[in-house]
Structure 1
Amino acid sequence: MKNNLIGNTYKMETEFLKVKLFFESDDSLEFTVLEGGGLTAPGHAEKVTTTIAEIRPNVYMIAWKEATGATVTHVEDHENGIVYSNATLPDGSFYTMKGTIQPFQE
């Protein structure tokens, strides 16, 4: 089931983390860390398998597991440009972030 995210690139910004998100398909996302805020190195890029659920038009819940074992869940409200992100790192630390999400501009 194709959704409006597929084929698009977005910039997510929280108070300490900035990430470029490219939605390749319904179950594939490539992310690139622009600023890691101490959580990860800038420039780190990875392709992950995703689960995407459309909550309502232009609002999505997206979840994935990274190669390190970190798990991430986003609620992305593209209508209002807001993202809620929860991440659990391999060491068990848990981060809850809120920020903006906008189409990526080179």
Structure 2
Amino acid sequence: MKNNLTGNRYIMDVGVLKTELFFETDETMVFTVIEGGGLTKNGYSESVKTTIAEIRPQVYMVAWKEKSGATVTHVEDHENGIIYSNATLPDGSFYTMKGTVNPLED
């Protein structure tokens, strides 16, 4: 079933990290780091297999595992433009972040 994220691009800004999220298909997303804030390199891009669950209209839980072994789970509230992001890095570091998620305007 197609979700409403598919085919759309968003800017996620959690202060220390700013990325572009492109929901390529129902099961894949490409993230591109705009500002890595020391967590990762600016400009880094990766296509990841996602699991997307719609919690309610315009609110999604999105989870994936990166090539590095990092795992990420977002709760994306597109109605209110709020994102909650949890990431566990390969070294065991755990980050809980809150910020904004907004459609990328062409």
Runs of 4+ in 1 over 3 A off after TM superposition: none
Between the aligned partners of 1:65 and 1:29, the Cα distance in structure 2 is 11
Tell me what 1:46 maps to.
Answer: 46
Identity among equivalent pairs (%): 71
Tell me what 1:82 maps to.
Answer: 82
What secondary structure, in the 3-state scheme, does the structure 2 residue paired with 1:25 have? coil
Tell me what 1:31 maps to.
Answer: 31
Residue 65 of structure 1 pairs with residue 65 of structure 2: yes
How far residue 26 of structure 1 moved from its aligned partner, in angstroms, is 1.0
How far residue 105 of structure 1 moved from its aligned partner, in angstroms, is 2.9
How far residue 100 of structure 1 moved from its aligned partner, in angstroms, is 0.2
Count of residue pairs brought into register by the alignment: 106
Between the aligned partners of 2:53 and 2:4, the Cα distance in structure 1 is 12
Alignment root-mean-square deviation, CA: 0.7
Gaps of 5+ in 1: none
Letter paired with 1:61: M
